[in-house]
Amino acid sequence: MNTKTMVFGMLTIGISTLGFAQQQVDSLKVEQLDEVVVTDSKFKLKRENSGKVITKITQKDLENFQGKSVAEIINNTAGIEINGSRSNAGQNLNYFVRGGRNRQVLILIDGIAVTDASQIANDYDLRLLNADQVESIEILKGASSTLYGTGAASAVINIKLKKATKDAVAVNLRSTLGTNQSQDDNDYGIENVLNSVSVNGSLDKFTYLASFSHQYTDGLSAVSVGEDADAFNTHNGYLKLGYQFSDSFKLNTYTSFDKIKAEFDDGFNFADADNLSTTSQYRIGVSPEFSYKKGSITMNAAYNNIERDIQSSFPTQFKSESFVGDIYNRYNFSDKFYTVLGVNAQQNEIESFSIPFGGTDFAQDINSDDATFIIVDPYANVVYVSDFGLNINAGLRLNNHSEYGNHLVYSLNPSFKKDLSFGYIKGLASYSTAFIAPSLYQLFEPTYGNIDLKPEENRTIEVGAEVNIKDKATISVVYFNRFEENFVDFVDLGNFVFQYANTDEDFTASGIELVADVILTKKLKFLVNGTYTKVEDELNLRIPEIKVNAAFNYQLDDKTFMSLNYQYNDDRDDAFFNSATFVSETVNLKSFSLVDFYISHKVVNNRMTVFANINNILNEEYEELFGYTTKGRNINLGFTLSL
């Protein structure tokens, strides 16, 4: 049987279980019915009134992913492929959403955009964030530049960090020990250690949370032919303080530091090497909020400093600073009409250093006096929720970029919900545009940069439907079509000269995303999502045409939970530079399927949870990136303790 046919058959079987579910369920409610989402409007709206299909990963969901990284957790979402999350822990991550790349995905932490001006794509590295710090994740796909500015072209990933409990003092501990081996290893040695501790609480009007986490992972070589293991080491610290001055005014402040040390190999010759990448991040932010009768004024302001040091045959150093300020007024004209008026400001700068050929000391390559830009964007968003089913979400934003002048982006997202005896059915559509400014690296890097680059522009169309069957299931299907202009590519100019340049061609990516959450019995739940992505040949590297995620979640009793997970990735093309022929070659990577199992059990008056997960149970051998190692069968054991 053809593999693709088999996968689509599994999807069909999963959806057809609705008929069985309708007969089996009478007391357990699907959580999405009363689920509240924020990312698509900056208001707390019921999911059923949203014109988008938003994925929300709750704290309960995260508890069932213990031992996994943030990237691995998000990688189970429809329409998203995070390449590198199944490889050596130090592998760079590539975010492929709806045929897009890293620069088209915007990461938010507590509603504040986070970027790294020292990265080629100006993207945020999810390896800097520890999953134990996360409270929930909302994923909004499609162009969202009207609310979030440059970079929000294919998806916005809004990560909400944990907040203080209502107790005066609460202590949470988590520890995980596990293996980290490829398909050829069978020693099952302890090579993966994760520990975290947090102290938090509330004292009258004052709240606090302090957390620290550490990860050390060894055992895998970065390249598949390597014999020497490449270690990955992280430290994460986070402090959040809040004070409720009055019923109408509260203030939250935070600071964090994150440090990564990742050993890596020679990717040019695919050979062992004693290379080391060190990244240090320091963030500080403030978020005051003033509430009044029908609305609130919120300011999110953050300063971010990142330093990266690359020790290799070509040693380099990068330093970047960014400031983000977003102030907006939310106003409720009524229970049906909501508005947001705001101004967003950003300032990014980068400097870099390298050792010239034949030299011994670092010299500056990129000067921060030149490599800087400022963005000031006023924006407005309106949400209308009628009492007869019509919902409209519309927005407008004027991008004022110091290098590129003004760009207007806009969005229109109508939806219609019809309440029925069994639940509701909702139809949705959207048309939205996006603006992606070239990164400072692409503009000012002395060898490859191009100060004449134009910004990319995107247009996204979505059409879809969602069906909710009370106490039984939620099913959604969305068709998307994304159009790109002025695509920034790394172009071979001949004679071994490369440069970033805008391509003359326009590109289109389209596809279908299907998501179903079905309650089979009071204790058993079936989750499945599938994505079909059609991308033009120039953009399709490492992007699977078909990707499927499925899970059976079984709540054995009040204390024991089990989950069986399946993931299928279609075959993909990858490219590498052949150091022998000095020609870039394309290679096909075969499709693969992964099966994981997770179990947890509560002990000690429900204050302690012990858990175990087995990843890649069948020890399937596959390639995620050509020439690099992937994880085989691995086991993690751990516990969480609340005091």
pLDDT, tens digit, for every residue of 290-321?
Answer: 999 999 999 999 999 999 999 999 999 999 99
The residue with greater pLDDT, 74 or 537, is: 74
- Model pLDDT for residues 420-455, shown as the tens digit of each residue: 999 999 999 999 999 898 999 999 999 999 999 999
**How high does pLDDT run on average in the chain?**
90
Q: Distance (Å, rounded) from C-alpha 325 to C-alpha 603? A: 45
The percent of residues in the chain predicted with pLDDT above 70, rounded, is 95
Can you tell me whether residue 632 is helix, strand or coil? Answer: coil
**Confidence grade of residue 233 (pLDDT, cut at 50, 70, 90):** very high
Q: Distance (Å, rounded) from C-alpha 354 to C-alpha 447? A: 12
Q: Can you give the pLDDT at residue 24?
A: 37
Q: Is the pLDDT of residue 195 over 90?
A: yes
Q: Can you give the pLDDT at residue 66?
A: 85
Q: Can you give the pLDDT at residue 559?
A: 93
The structure tokens listed for 128 are 């800097």
Backbone phi, psi, residue 20, to 5°: -65, -40
- Model pLDDT for residues 84-116, shown as the tens digit of each residue: 999 999 999 999 999 998 999 999 998 888 988
What mean pLDDT comes out for the span 392-406? 91
Q: Distance (Å, rounded) from C-alpha 59 to C-alpha 463? A: 30
Residue 15 in contact with residue 469, Cβ under 8 Å?
no
Q: Is the pLDDT of residue 354 over 50?
A: yes
- Model pLDDT for residues 266-282, shown as the tens digit of each residue: 988 899 999 999 999 99
Nearest to 531, CA basis, from 573, 484, 571, 568: 568
Q: Can you give the pLDDT at residue 1?
A: 43
Q: Is the pLDDT of residue 19 over 90?
A: no
Q: What's this model's pTM, rounded to 2 decimal places?
A: 0.90
SS3 letters across 315-363: CEEEEEEEEEEEEEEEEECCCCEEEEEEEEEEEEEEEEEECCCCCCCCE
Burial of 415 (0-12, 13-18, 19+ CB in 10 A): buried
Can you tell me whether residue 625 is helix, strand or coil? Answer: coil
Residue type, 362: F
The residue with greater pLDDT, 247 or 49, is: 247
Q: Distance (Å, rounded) from C-alpha 307 to C-alpha 318? A: 6
Q: Is the pLDDT of residue 45 over 90?
A: no
The reply to whether CATH 1.10.10.60 applies to domain 3-642 is no
**Confidence grade of residue 33 (pLDDT, cut at 50, 70, 90):** very low
- List all residues 6 or more positions away from 19 whose beta carbon is below 8 Å from its beta carbon: none
What mean pLDDT comes out for the span 622-638? 95
The residue length of the chain stands at: 643
Of 458-462, 463-467, 515-519, 573-577, give the lowest mean pLDDT range. 573-577
Residue type, 596: D
* DSSP element (H, E) containing 621: none
| Strand 473-485 to 507-519 pairing | antiparallel
**Confidence grade of residue 34 (pLDDT, cut at 50, 70, 90):** low
- Model pLDDT for residues 554-611, shown as the tens digit of each residue: 999 999 999 999 999 999 999 887 777 777 889 999 999 999 999 999 998 889 999 9
Q: Can you give the pLDDT at residue 335?
A: 83
Residue 214 in contact with residue 174, Cβ under 8 Å?
no
Per domain, the residue ranges of the chain are 3-642
Q: For 421-427, which contacts have Cβ atoms below 8 Å and span 24 or more sequence positions? A: 422/469, 422/470, 423/33, 423/467, 423/468, 423/469, 423/470, 423/472, 424/48, 424/467, 424/468, 425/465, 425/466, 425/467, 425/468, 426/48, 426/465, 426/466, 426/467, 426/468, 427/464, 427/465
Of 217-231, 491-505, 628-642, give the lowest mean pLDDT range. 491-505
Maximum CA extent, the chain: 77
- List all residues 6 or more positions away from 335 whose beta carbon is below 8 Å from its beta carbon: 385
**Confidence grade of residue 502 (pLDDT, cut at 50, 70, 90):** very high
Q: Distance (Å, rounded) from C-alpha 71 to C-alpha 66? A: 13
Specify which residues 96 forms β-bridges with: 81
Q: Can you give the pLDDT at residue 20?
A: 39
* DSSP element (H, E) containing 631: none
